[in-house]
Structure 1
Amino acid sequence: MATSVRRDRLTLPAAPLGPENPLPGLCAPGGVHELDERTKEGLPRDMKRQIGNAPLRTTLPVRTRDGYGRERADTGFDAIVIENDRLRATVLPGLGGRIHSLHYKSTGRELVYRNPVLQPAGFALNGAWFSGGIEWNIGATGHTALTCAPLHAAVVPAPDGGEMVRLWEWERLRDLPFQIDLWLPADSDFLYAGVRVRNPHERPAPVYWWSNTAVPEDEHTRVLAPADEAWRFGYEHTLARVPVPRSDGADRTYPTRSADPADYFYEIPGEARKWIASLDASGTGLVQTSTDRLRGRKLFVWGTGADGRRWQEWLTEPGTGGYAEIQAGLARTQLEHVPLEPGADVSWLEAYGPLSADPAPVHGDDWAAARAEAERALGEALPRAAVEAAYTAWLAHADQEPGEILHTGSGWGALEVLRGGHELPGTPFPESTVGEQQRPWLELLRSGVFPAPREAAPPGPSLVAPHWRDMLETAPAEPLTEYHLGVAQWHAGDLAQAVRSWERGLRRAASRWPLLRNLALADCEAEHCERAADLYAEAFADLHGERRDGEQWTAATAALGREAIDALLAVGRTAEARTVWEGLDAGTRATGRFRLIEARLLVAEGDRQAARTVFEAGFEVADLREGSTEVREVWATVTDGPLPGASGARQPS
């Protein structure tokens, strides 16, 4: 059959994403990808330089997504199916362009781990993330902030005369447009992905890219790559060079032979073909290869320990088979960011498909022979020269203008194109995509005035790039303008000026709580804890008096209430924390996150038995961050007994 592209609808048991958090994320992103400072001293010079390249101060201008839950219901998602007589790829354009399924027809086999549910969890840079399939990580170290965001999608002419699917968006953490062209030639066993990231600005930009493929695992699964060494990174935040395949007494190329979660970034020689494969007991599975620009390869394992297993179940459901991740990136490790010069772009081609190799050498003790057999099989299935030729052919089509629109992304790219006058052939961002969140900024661009809201509502998203900050500085100094200006100044590292902007806005603000909250957080960061508590209490009282009905108001109240209780408990002001708690609506208080907060509050009030009862009644904190131990920590303040199991606080931490 000829290659076809069609719209479809995929139904999955899914937890709702919920609203965005209306409070600007002023704090630097933390988590499992932080590197111990002492470790940096012994690293190669180029790696050390790229690890230090423009770390994120915050996740602004992207909003945090922490409004999801854990109650799943059958939900329909827009899908795009790309199919020939050998492969069928199912793409989710509304969820970061994730390839949910890659089905090999001749064997009826799913080549990737196809998650049977969609369960958000706190793994992305801005919160909500879900596991499975092939995801496209751009922005900064970690899972992309576009994980649960819509991308633009359209049909584009393919190099072989057929059709390919173009996905594109404006990545906002680094302010860069990108595209992914998915192309499945007729009679091909391999899906191609042509990727391009562009820097339209007059300043260098740090670029991060890792394509992440979830693959099924069992005790016979082996991951192979052309390397004899790897950089191991774990939750202890150190980066250590280890031999491949065996280190610490075990063959780490078998994912189930590691007890703890860990990354293995393979040290692939510069002249070697770039590939990674996951093969089962019979020597069959998935292989990913690319042109040489995508130099990095990585294996991530959850490990067989209790925590790793619980996290996997947390992301899907009990009884589901485990998975590992095989990844490909622009640098050797995910801790690095590659510089992209002004006006430049970077591009490459990836290929995903089935691989069948002789299982005897693949699973033998001779690592060199195992690698050689996998590479031999890859050479027969898809020669290296064929990938280079496909890349050259694709480049000639990378600027082709899209035809039929299959899905619409955000309006942020359109806003940036209108502001900068950027010419981006092949990836149009039409003004028609400008929506409610972008309209005030478009008015600022055209009139020099940031408009007052038509009705009372929590402030919309702030923009923080230098050009928007400059416009805010010259706009009339209305309270809402000062609010957004302070956020942009904070993001730029000018903390004192941000505080001054918020204080100026506060003098004339009718709605005081957004400015009070930002000032409270600034005091928290400066360790002025009592003053922060005062401001948080005042902010929550102001919001409680102003709030209306609606999802945005409920989300703002929950987010501010959570921060306010934390700040008040930190200075021992338990009664005021209780007042905030009682000011939350019943639905908010019933969520797992706030049940945990209730237990903390009860402990602070000296009622450990009541706190224990909260745990024993059972709750699930949906938005726990990867590696979190906070449930255990709160439980440890209640008792030194074992944490309740399935009948109590069922958490992966």
Structure 2
Amino acid sequence: MGELYARIREEDIRIPTYHIREDPNPPLFTPLAPWVYPYPRQDEILRPRDEEVSYRAVVMENPYLRVTVLPQLGGRVYSAYDKTAGREIFHKGDVIKPARIGLRGAWICGGIEFNFIRGHHVMTMSPVDYLIRENSDGSVSVTVGHMERRSRSRWNVTLTLHPDRSYLQVDLKLYNRYRYRLDFYQWSNSSVEAREDLFYPYPTEYIISSGRRLYRFPIQGGLDISRWKSIPIAHDLFAIGTEADFMGIYYEEADVGMVHYANHYQAPGKKIFTWGTDDAGR
């Protein structure tokens, strides 16, 4: 094995981008107002102008991984490149092309999106605070975060890369400045490539859909729903009754996969979302 190291740097990267025009006024007296106000809507997605936009990126690298974070796009992990397998771990969009899915409208898939309070969070397409750090143990970190103006609470996500480890460490901190409890949820949204050989080795016997329908897992009615190719339409599938600390995906033909590991008492949720295999999903 060669030299063990962990390095961090900032650099500008250029990505073709569909522009967004923000409403100059925040939404008032609309169904979404309680979750969006005082942030303006980002509904107007403009046609592309064959223009590349410069983004300030934070890049962390060790012998195994190269991780690129974009603070200008909600602090998301834009790329996580596996040097051993020679491939991206997550889906990496070559173009920033929003769809109207987020709380404020615009949203993109790809990488890892960190969400707080509700839904695809209000800052998912906007700049957040960030801080880079070289740690005394040889690791490197970037912290991204935002003070959410509706609740006046703050979230921080710290991503750390160690010299001798082939995983990305994620630490979350939530700050409530008030004496009363706040109603919110936190979830991390990881996008992976949809392929025929993709399946989900989830440690559960039952899952429930967003429509509250219960399914056996992995075999439901003779169909193996742990495989991407088995689900034709868009579905949310939530694991229930699991006490395992992991969830993951695996590509059989490529013989590569990914595992998320966390204490299930602190991070109890496990969810699969698929757009489905039919034309609408593709």
- With the length of structure 2 as denominator, give the TM-score of the two structures: 0.92
Q: CA deviation at 1:159?
A: 6.5
User: What is the CA–CA distance in structure 2 between the aligned matches of 1:231 and 1:2, rounded to whole Å?
Assistant: 43
Match of 2:279 in 1: 306
User: What is the CA–CA distance in structure 1 between the aligned matches of 2:102 and 2:258, rounded to whole Å?
Assistant: 25
Q: CA deviation at 1:12?
A: 1.4
Q: CA deviation at 1:280?
A: 3.4
Q: CA deviation at 1:144?
A: 1.0
Secondary structure of 1:215's aligned partner: coil
Q: Which amino acid aligns with 1:106?
A: T
- What's the Cα RMSD here? 1.8
Q: CA deviation at 1:283?
A: 3.4
Whether 1:77 aligns to 2:55 is: yes
User: What is the CA–CA distance in structure 2 between the aligned matches of 1:64 and 1:221, rounded to whole Å?
Assistant: 36
Q: Residues 218, 144 of structure 1: CA spacing in aligned structure 2 closer, same or farther, 3 A cutoff?
A: same
Q: CA deviation at 1:116?
A: 1.2
Q: CA deviation at 1:175?
A: 2.7
Q: Percent identity?
A: 27
Q: CA deviation at 1:109?
A: 1.1
Structure 1 gap ranges (5+): 30-55, 310-653
| 1:202-241 alignment, distance < 5 Å | 202-233=179-210, 238-241=211-214
Secondary structure of 1:57's aligned partner: helix
Match of 1:14 in 2: 17
User: What is the CA–CA distance in structure 2 between the aligned matches of 1:219 and 1:246, rounded to whole Å?
Assistant: 17
Q: Which amino acid aligns with 1:263?
A: D
Secondary structure of 2:178's aligned partner: coil
Match of 2:261 in 1: 289
Q: Tell me if structure 2 keeps the 8 A contact 1:94–1:150.
A: yes
Structure 2 gap ranges (5+): none
Match of 1:130 in 2: 108
Match of 1:260 in 2: 233
Alignment: residue pair count? 277
Match of 1:47 in 2: none
Q: What's the CA shift string for 1:24-70, capped at 9, x where partnerless? A: 243123xxxxxxxxxxxxxxxxxxxxxxxxxx834212211123213
Match of 2:164 in 1: 187
Q: Which amino acid aligns with 1:154?
A: L
| 1:403-422 alignment, distance < 5 Å | none
Q: Which amino acid aligns with 2:13?
A: L
Q: Which amino acid aligns with 2:117?
A: G
Q: Tell me if structure 2 keeps the 8 A contact 1:21–1:66.
A: no
Q: CA deviation at 1:202?
A: 2.0
Q: Tell me if structure 1 keeps the 8 A contact 2:161–2:169.
A: yes
Work out which of the two has the higher radius of gyration on C-alpha atoms and give 1 or 2: 1
| 1:288-437 alignment, distance < 5 Å | 288-292=260-264, 293-309=266-282
Q: CA deviation at 1:138?
A: 0.8
Match of 2:146 in 1: 169
User: What is the CA–CA distance in structure 2 between the aligned matches of 1:220 and 1:163, rounded to whole Å?
Assistant: 34
Q: Tell me if structure 2 keeps the 8 A contact 1:21–1:65.
A: no
Q: Tell me if structure 2 keeps the 8 A contact 1:158–1:183.
A: no
Determine which of 198, 208, 216 is the counterpart of 2:175: 198
Q: Tell me if structure 2 keeps the 8 A contact 1:268–1:274.
A: no
Determine which of 156, 173, 179 is the counterpart of 2:133: 156
Q: CA deviation at 1:249?
A: 4.1
Q: Tell me if structure 2 keeps the 8 A contact 1:120–1:128.
A: yes
Match of 1:27 in 2: 30
Determine which of 268, 276, 285 is the counterpart of 2:248: 276
Whether 1:144 aligns to 2:117 is: no
Secondary structure of 1:256's aligned partner: helix
- Which one has a larger percent strand, Structure 1 or Structure 2? 2
User: What is the CA–CA distance in structure 2 between the aligned matches of 1:284 and 1:90, rounded to whole Å?
Assistant: 20
